[in-house]
């Protein structure tokens, strides 16, 4: 009490306050009033959707009362309508989730009235999902979706504020990060936060678990803006749009001929957009647990290369079965035999050296094989597939052996020479795949893994902690992976699926595009044990 009195007596005011006490008091009063009104508006804005809905509800009730002449009857009718809407919404949500299963059993369900009703709701759900995908492609559609997502955005702002207050994220001045922007995304909501002095993306990252629970979401992904460290993107992940997708059709099937210099259609991302990867001058590394979809992913790239008259295929396939249809079609093919495999690699190195020498001899400064030079000189892109890389670098070879060294040499030196390495393995740890080789890949894709550490080994240190973890990929949803290629953030992708008949068909029908070279001789029998 005495302290307070002291403060009061100590406060003398500024010179202006002493000279014009009435004016100063008026200014102070207006400022306090302004602050109060501002606070009221900010709070009302947070609850704007609820306030709007309440207003609309009262308006409808008053109208009903006016028509019916009884306030109680009006309230009963309004209540019944709201309850019916709620029940419909719950049924819709439940049936929408089960839409793919319902689709499969449609025949049996159509036989009874409840089944038919369920089918109609499932069809409406599918239609809405499709409509949303179409709307997202157009500006006017995005405005509509923005308006539709108001409630979700208001909810996530509240949840995030509660979460941040709950973990005492205020800085010394008692301020929370400012929420600058919120938008709805196909997976949930994305917000941009502006950190106040004393806060950082890294600090926020340590509270990711609590924020995830506060948002009642599957996950939150926290990433710092690369250009402004006080800006933080928080992705609140509520659903997995790829979970219910069936097999993705490969675009290339509709084309007679493709070019390896053009981007390869590899699948679909979470927004429902096609994912295309430029492969020229790049390398891709695919990794994940057994059966996660690596070889099927390689097949997509293989089929694109096979349909491209400007590309040639080379395979090292210890499993033997994966790329068998291409054996007669490829420029070089080796099974599990280490000498054969090394021979393929040496063939690639010799060709790479020949191309680099040729580039050197061309007039002017030619730093790399371009599409024009390739067409002018008749040089095809060589796509080198190694399935189950670890077989040659750890099972029958070593991480320091000739195979590993040759593979590393190819990845590091021949990017400019039109050699495209596509390597896949189950466990990319340093004891099975040399780190010096793995780190050279410009594109990496992590299929399902069992541990966060394995996911980080593939994508790079720290991604799993930020919410980009291959452990989240559903075991049943094969062919889904985190792809780190273009852009700063990994993208969740479902790879296209090409069935065996199409592959076998393409392996025969695309032969006419290019003459076959002498393949590397492979012994007729090979009893080396193989890794599964």
Ligand X SMILES: Nc1ncnc2c1ncn2[C@@H]1O[C@H](COP(=O)(O)OP(=O)(O)OP(=O)(O)O)[C@@H](O)[C@H]1O
Residue placing its CB nearer to ligand X in the complex, 259 or 481? 481
Question: Cβ 277 to ligand X, closest distance in Å?
Answer: 15
Question: Cβ 326 to ligand X, closest distance in Å?
Answer: 15
Choose among ligand X, Mg ion, none what residue 352 binds, the Cβ cut-off being 5 to 8 Å by kind. Answer: none
Tokens of 255: 């084309």
Give me Rg for the CA atoms of the chain.
31
Tokens of 372: 């024009």
Say whether residue 295 binds Mg ion (CB under 5 A): yes
Give the nearest residue (CB) to ligand X. Answer: 479
288 annotated to a ligand binding site: yes
289 annotated to a ligand binding site: yes
Pairing of strands 491-495, 480-484: antiparallel
Residue placing its CB nearer to ligand X in the complex, 292 or 469? 292
Say whether residue 455 binds ligand X (CB under 6 A): no
Which span (231-239, 294-302, 368-376, 377-385) binds ligand X, by CB under 6 A?
294-302
Cβ-Cβ contacts under 8 Å for 407 (sequence gap 6 or more):
345, 386, 389, 392, 393, 421, 423, 437
Residues 169, 326, 423, 495: which binds ligand X (CB under 6 A)?
495
Choose among ligand X, Mg ion, none what residue 293 binds, the Cβ cut-off being 5 to 8 Å by kind. Answer: ligand X
Say whether residue 292 binds ligand X (CB under 6 A): yes
Residues 186, 428, 479, 519: which binds ligand X (CB under 6 A)?
479
Closest CA to 184 of 249, 236, 120, 129: 236
Q: What is the dihedral of CA 138, 144, 146, 149, to 10 degrees?
A: -130
If you write DSSP's letter for every residue of 62-87 in order, what string do you get? HHHHHHHS-HHHHHHHHHHHHHHHHH
Which span (24-32, 52-60, 288-296, 338-346) binds Mg ion, by CB under 5 A?
288-296
Residue placing its CB nearer to ligand X in the complex, 203 or 247? 247
Tokens of 293: 């979809």
Say whether residue 290 binds ligand X (CB under 6 A): yes
Measure the CA–CA gap between 27 and 24, rounded to whole angstroms: 5
Measure the CA–CA gap between 209 and 194, rounded to whole angstroms: 20
Give the nearest residue (CB) to Mg ion. Answer: 295
291 annotated to a ligand binding site: yes
Q: What φ, ψ does residue 91 adopt, rounded to 5°?
A: -60, -40
Which span (42-50, 230-238, 287-295, 521-529) binds Mg ion, by CB under 5 A?
287-295
Measure the CA angle with vertex 174, ends 172 and 175; round to 5°. Answer: 110
Residue placing its CB nearer to ligand X in the complex, 295 or 510? 295
Alpha carbon separation from 124 to 101, 119, 120, 185, 322 (Å, rounded):
15, 9, 6, 21, 40
Contact yes or no for 152/146 (Cβ under 8 A)? no
Q: How many residues bind ligand X (CB under 6 A)?
A: 14
Say whether residue 394 binds ligand X (CB under 6 A): no
Choose among Mg ion, ligand X, none what residue 415 binds, the Cβ cut-off being 5 to 8 Å by kind. Answer: none
254 annotated to a ligand binding site: no
Measure the CA–CA gap between 272 and 143, rounded to whole angstroms: 18
Measure the CA–CA gap between 329 and 314, rounded to whole angstroms: 9
Say whether residue 274 binds ligand X (CB under 6 A): no
Residue placing its CB nearer to Mg ion in the complex, 155 or 427? 427
DSSP 124: H
Residue placing its CB nearer to ligand X in the complex, 393 or 426? 426
514 three-state secondary structure? coil
Question: Cβ 291 to ligand X, closest distance in Å?
Answer: 4
Q: Is 65 exposed, middle or buried (0-12, 13-18, 19+ CB in 10 A)?
A: middle
| Residues 214-253, interacting with ligand X (CB under 6 A) | 247
Q: Which residues lie across from 194 on neighbouring strands?
A: 178, 231
| Residues 12-41, interacting with Mg ion (CB under 5 A) | none
96 annotated to a ligand binding site: no
Closest CA to 402 of 463, 350, 357, 341: 341
Residue placing its CB nearer to ligand X in the complex, 169 or 391? 391
Question: Cβ 122 to Mg ion, closest distance in Å?
Answer: 34
Question: Cβ 363 to ligand X, closest distance in Å?
Answer: 45
Residue placing its CB nearer to ligand X in the complex, 118 or 422? 422
Measure the CA–CA gap between 453 and 461, rounded to whole angstroms: 8
Q: How many residues bind Mg ion (CB under 5 A)?
A: 1
Contact yes or no for 224/230 (Cβ under 8 A)? no
Contact yes or no for 517/350 (Cβ under 8 A)? no
Choose among Mg ion, ligand X, none what residue 444 binds, the Cβ cut-off being 5 to 8 Å by kind. Answer: none
Binding mask 415-444 for ligand X (x = CB under 6 A): -----------x------------------
| Residues 28-67, interacting with ligand X (CB under 6 A) | none
Say whether residue 293 binds ligand X (CB under 6 A): yes
| 82-85 contacts at long range (C-beta below 8 A, 24 or more positions apart) | 82/57
Residue ranges in contact with Mg ion by CB under 5 A = 295
Annotated binding site for ATP: 288-295
Residue ranges in contact with ligand X by CB under 6 A = 247, 288, 290-296, 426, 478-479, 495, 497
Annotated binding site: 288-295
């Amino acid at each position: 009490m005495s302290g307070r009195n002291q403060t009061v007596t100590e406060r003398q005011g500024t010179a202006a306050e002493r000279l014009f006490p009435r004016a100063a008091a008026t200014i102070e009063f207006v400022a306090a009033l302004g602050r109060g009104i501002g606070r009221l508006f900010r709070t009302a804005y947070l609850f704007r959707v609820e306030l709007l809905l309440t207003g609309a509800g009262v308006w409808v009730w008053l109208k009903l009362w006016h028509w019916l002449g009884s306030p109680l009857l009006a309230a009963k009718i309004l209540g019944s309508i709201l309850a019916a809407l709620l029940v419909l919404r719950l049924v819709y949500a439940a049936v929408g989730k089960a839409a793919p299963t319902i689709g499969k059993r449609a025949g049996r369900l159509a036989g009874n009235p409840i089944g038919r009703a369920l089918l109609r709701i499932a069809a409406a759900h599918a239609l809405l999902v499709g409509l949303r995908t179409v709307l997202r492609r157009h500006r006017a559609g995005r405005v509509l979706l923005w308006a539709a997502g108001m409630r979700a955005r208001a909810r996530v702002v509240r949840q995030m504020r509660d979460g941040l207050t709950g973990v005492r994220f205020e800085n010394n001045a008692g301020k929370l990060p400012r929420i600058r922007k919120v938008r709805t995304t196909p997976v949930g909501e994305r917000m941009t936060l502006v950190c106040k002095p004393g806060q950082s993306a890294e600090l926020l990252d340590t509270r990711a678990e609590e924020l995830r629970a506060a948002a009642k979401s599957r996950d939150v992904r926290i990433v710092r803006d690369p250009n402004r460290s006080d800006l933080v993107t928080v992705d609140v992940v509520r659903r997995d749009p790829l979970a219910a997708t069936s097999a993705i059709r490969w675009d290339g099937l509709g084309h007679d001929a493709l070019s390896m210099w053009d981007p390869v259609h590899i699948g679909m991302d979470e927004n429902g957009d096609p994912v295309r990867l430029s492969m020229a001058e790049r390398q891709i590394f695919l990794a994940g647990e057994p059966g996660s979809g690596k070889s099927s992913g390689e097949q997509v790239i293989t089929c694109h290369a096979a349909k491209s008259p400007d590309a040639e295929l080379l395979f090292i396939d210890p499993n033997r079965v994966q790329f068998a249809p291409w054996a007669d079609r490829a420029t070089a093919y080796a099974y599990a035999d280490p000498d054969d495999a090394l021979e393929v690699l040496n063939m690639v190195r010799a060709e790479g050296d020949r191309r680099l020498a040729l580039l050197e001899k061309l007039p002017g400064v030619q730093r790399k094989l371009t599409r024009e030079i390739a067409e002018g000189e008749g040089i095809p892109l060589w796509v080198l597939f190694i399935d189950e890389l670890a077989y040659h670098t750890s099972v029958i070879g070593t991480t320091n052996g000739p195979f590993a060294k040759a593979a590393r040499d190819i990845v590091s030196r021949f990017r400019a020479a039109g050699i495209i390495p596509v390597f896949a393995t189950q466990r990319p740890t340093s004891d099975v795949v040399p780190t010096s080789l793995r780190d050279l890949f410009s594109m990496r894709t992590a299929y399902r893994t069992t541990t966060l550490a394995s996911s980080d080994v593939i994508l790079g240190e720290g991604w799993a902690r930020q919410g980009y973890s291959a452990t989240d990929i559903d075991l049943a949803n094969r062919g889904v992976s985190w792809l780190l290629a273009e852009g700063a953030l990994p993208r969740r992708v479902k790879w296209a699926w090409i069935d065996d008949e199409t592959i076998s068909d393409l392996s025969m029908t695309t032969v006419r595009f290019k003459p076959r070279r002498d393949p590397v001789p492979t012994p007729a029998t090979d009893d080396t044990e193989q890794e599964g």
